[in-house]
Structures are given as structure tokens and as C-alpha cells.
Amino acid sequence: MVSNNSELFPTAFKFLVAGGFGVGKTTFVRSVSEIEPLTTEETLTIASIGTDDLAGVGEKTTTTVAMDFGRITFDPQNIVLFLFGTPGQERFWFMWDDLVNGALGAVVLADTRRLEDCFAAVEFFEQRGIDFLVAVNHFAGGFRYEPEEVREALDIKPRVPIVACDARDRRSAASVLACLTKHVLVNRPL
């Protein structure tokens, strides 16, 4: 007789990874996923001229047109996180309404060189009552601000965590997800 079902079945969370175009969402999902991530990256073409603002995104040559998907398991807690990266360009935002179904939390990636690009994601999750945190993805040449300066610039509530991260680094991305998991569990105990 098994006395504890949690030993057999993991606790699963669906989290979104959102933010502006070129902020590192696909990189974040790729770096932390324990499985080969599903990505819907397509090459930017001349057709995007006048539609997509490429200012501040460096040498970016691809864009997510639907979503990214990855998974990470935290042992020994037996918590499985299913990660869905959202497209960052406004023309693909309609996908967010479908991706948010069943989500318990979200990472809003921010780039201090283009902080205004994450306003839409912050507003999206606030309006839907989805717990989120802001992860400031540090880019070379980016400004370094204290968390309270970022909070003030984004006009977010004191209960929303703000953390620094490097989306390219597995440990850094996993730390962000651990922080989000704790935040969600405090606000929505299982």
C-alpha cells in the first residue's frame, strides 16, 4: 500500500516565459529545458521590414512565430515545470490568449536597454490574475538597475519578485523558475 501519492505522481505547473521581441525567451527555454525544446523559430525576412521593430535586438535573425516548449523537473520535490515561451512581436500576441490557459505563473523577461518592451506582458498577466515575476536578462552594454528601480519603472506591486538572470545560463534560468515556483506556492497553496 502506498501512503503518499506524491511519491508516484509529480506536481506539474504550466509557466509562460514572456516579454518583448528579442529579450531572450527562446534562449531561456532552450538553456533550462531537460528535453530537446520545441521551438517555432523562423528566419526574419524582408517582409518584416516596417512591421517588426528590430532596434536594439542586435544581430537577431530569427523570431518565434507561435511558441517555444520545454520542461524541467525539480528533484527531490518532484515538481515538473512545463514552459511555454510566447512570441514577442505584437503581430503574434493573439497566441498569448491560448497559451495562458491553465498557466499558474509566468516569467516576464526584461531587457533594461528596452524596458518598455515588457509593459504589455506585465499588463497581460496583471489583468488575468496570473502570478508572475520579472527577470532582468542582462545583456552586454545593458544598464544595471536595482530591483526597486525596475519596479518603479514598470509600476508593479511590491509582492512581484524582481530577479536578475542570464537566459543563456541553465543555473540562472533554473534559479528564476525556482523563485517563481515559490512565489506561486505562496500565493496559491496546493
Q: How would you write the pLDDT of the chain (190 residues) with one tens digit per residue?
A: 444 544 667 789 999 999 988 889 999 999 999 998 877 665 655 655 555 555 555 565 556 555 789 999 998 778 999 999 998 777 677 778 888 999 999 999 999 888 998 999 999 999 999 999 999 998 777 778 899 999 999 999 999 999 999 999 999 999 999 999 999 999 876 5
What confidence score (pLDDT) does residue 34 get? 95
Q: Tell me whether residue 6 is in a domain.
A: no
Task: Please name the amino acid found at residue 82.
Answer: F
Q: Tell me whether residue 132 is in a domain.
A: yes
- Could you tell me which residues are beta bridge partners of residue 139? none
Return d(Cα 173, Cα 166) in angstroms, integer: 7
Return d(Cα 137, Cα 17) in angstroms, integer: 12
Q: Tell me whether residue 69 is in a domain.
A: yes
Q: Tell me whether residue 3 is in a domain.
A: no
Task: Please name the amino acid found at residue 9.
Answer: F
Asked if the peptide bond before residue 161 counts as cis, ω within 30 degrees of 0, the response is no
Return d(Cα 90, Cα 174) in angstroms, integer: 27
Number of domains composing the chain: 1
Q: Tell me whether residue 85 is in a domain.
A: yes
Q: Tell me whether residue 1 is in a domain.
A: no
- From the list 100, 155, 152, the residue with the least C-alpha distance to 130 is 100
What confidence score (pLDDT) does residue 76 get? 76
Structural domain containing residue 183: 11-187
Q: Tell me whether residue 142 is in a domain.
A: yes
Residue 34's domain is classified under what CATH number?
Answer: 3.40.50.300
